[in-house]
């Protein structure tokens, strides 16, 4: 009975954290959009610099300080590498194709997280779990309504970003289950990403207005919240059990789009919302009955 309660608690914490991560990443997208025509590398630097600072301050207040588990260094490097590739591919795709198509391709990440978990973590999903994730992805298609632009080179880059993000999430779970602390994972990735894009930013820095600076600061704070939440999510539960709730980011985006930009969803979007919410509700019910 205690094991059952523990597993249920872990499932619920994972679900809550992944939904919270989706909220923060959606909010980050709003700030990035509001920041205007700032270069992609510059946006990426702000996205991760704030997260690095927040994680640094958090770790400075812990007894362990900045210690890193030696057996996690390889996983941290791979998480950071794939995470950085995912961000850059996604931002590049957004700059070079219709934003709805780019977002749809980025939503391949829950699929890839499950697939890569099979190889890296030996966590295999049941058939019914595949069906629910597929249903959620179908709901995402109703919302995003991809065009013929998905059959292009930018689309391949966007799909690569989805693969890289899903793989990065898998390594987040790997190092988390090995005992590495969440803020360490966030700081390691954020510092790695900042150092990777810094030469490009210095070579092509564009002065920003006060408003753009504030928006990118907001994006950075939101990204930090998203990273800490997604790290906690994959520490509490495997991808096969919680990845479907990552699609709640589309629902958050729709809400922000309506409240901030006055975007009203059409019938196809509403159908997509219903499909996603239904699939998530079914998975929630399953998690409550996990033995």
Residue 8 has pLDDT above 60, yes or no: no
pLDDT in tens, 267-281: 888 888 889 888 888
Length of the chain: 291
Domain ranges, ordered by start, for the chain:
2-125+147-241
pLDDT in tens, 222-241: 988 998 898 889 888 888 77
Average pLDDT score over the chain = 85
* Most confident range, picked from 107-121, 177-191, 248-262: 177-191
Residue 260 has pLDDT above 90, yes or no: no
% of the chain surpassing 90 pLDDT: 29
Q: What is the pLDDT of residue 3?
A: 44
Residue 202 has pLDDT above 80, yes or no: yes
Residue 133 has pLDDT above 60, yes or no: yes
- Model-level pTM? 0.81
Comparing 169 with 111, the larger pLDDT belongs to 169
pLDDT in tens, 241-252: 788 888 888 888
Distance, in Å, from the CA atom of 200 to the CA atom of 95, rounded to the nearest integer, reads: 16
Average pLDDT of 124-153? Answer: 81
Residue 4 has pLDDT above 80, yes or no: no
Tell me whether residue 55 is exposed, middle or buried, using C-beta atoms within 10 angstroms of its C-beta: 0 to 12, 13 to 18, 19 or more.
buried
Q: What is the DSSP letter of 126?
A: -
Residue 28 near residue 47 (C-beta atoms within 8 A): yes
Helices and strands per DSSP (H, E), number in the chain = 12, 0
pLDDT in tens, 154-193: 888 888 998 999 999 999 999 999 999 989 998 999 999 9
pLDDT in tens, 63-107: 888 899 999 999 999 999 999 999 888 878 877 776 666 777 777
3-state SS assignment for residue 69? coil
Q: What is the pLDDT of residue 170?
A: 93
Residue 168 near residue 83 (C-beta atoms within 8 A): yes
> By C-alpha distance, which of 168, 287, 159, 169 is closest to 239?
169
Distance, in Å, from the CA atom of 193 to the CA atom of 183, rounded to the nearest integer, reads: 15
Q: What is the pLDDT of residue 7?
A: 46
Distance, in Å, from the CA atom of 156 to the CA atom of 160, rounded to the nearest integer, reads: 6
Task: Give the contacts of 181 (CB within 8 A, at least 6 positions apart).
Answer: 59, 62, 64
Q: Look up tokens 């499909």; give the residue.
A: 275
| Token output for 1 | 């009975």
* Most confident range, picked from 24-38, 43-57, 67-81: 67-81
Q: What is the pLDDT of residue 171?
A: 95
Q: What is the pLDDT of residue 1?
A: 45
Distance, in Å, from the CA atom of 38 to the CA atom of 32, rounded to the nearest integer, reads: 9
């Amino acid at each position: 009975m205690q094991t059952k309660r523990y597993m249920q608690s872990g499932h619920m914490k994972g679900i809550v954290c992944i939904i919270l991560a989706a909220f923060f990443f959606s909010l980050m997208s709003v700030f990035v959009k509001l920041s205007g025509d700032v270069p992609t590398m510059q946006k990426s630097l702000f996205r991760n610099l704030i997260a690095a600072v927040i994680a640094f301050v958090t770790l400075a207040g812990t007894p362990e300080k900045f210690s890193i588990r030696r057996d996690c260094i390889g996983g941290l490097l791979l998480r950071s590498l794939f995470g950085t590739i995912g961000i850059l591919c996604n931002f590049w795709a957004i700059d070079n194709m219709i934003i709805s198509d780019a977002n749809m391709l980025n939503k391949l990440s829950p699929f890839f997280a499950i697939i890569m978990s099979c190889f890296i973590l030996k966590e295999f999903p049941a058939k019914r779990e595949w069906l629910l994730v597929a249903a959620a992805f179908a709901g995402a298609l109703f919302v995003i309504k991809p065009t013929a632009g998905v059959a292009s080179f930018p689309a391949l880059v966007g799909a690569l970003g989805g693969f890289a993000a899903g793989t990065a999430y898998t390594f987040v779970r790997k190092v988390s289950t090995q005992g590495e602390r969440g803020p360490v994972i966030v700081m390691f990735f954020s510092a790695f990403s900042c150092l990777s894009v810094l030469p490009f930013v210095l070579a092509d820095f564009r002065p920003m207005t006060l408003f753009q600076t504030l928006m990118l600061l907001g994006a950075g704070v939101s990204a930090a919240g998203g990273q800490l939440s997604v790290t906690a999510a994959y520490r509490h539960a495997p991808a096969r059990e919680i990845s479907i709730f990552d699609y709640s980011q589309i629902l958050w985006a729709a809400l922000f789009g309506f409240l901030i930009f006055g975007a009203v969803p059409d019938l196809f979007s509403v159908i997509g919302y219903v499909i996603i919410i239904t699939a998530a509700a079914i998975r929630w019910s399953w998690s409550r009955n996990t033995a």
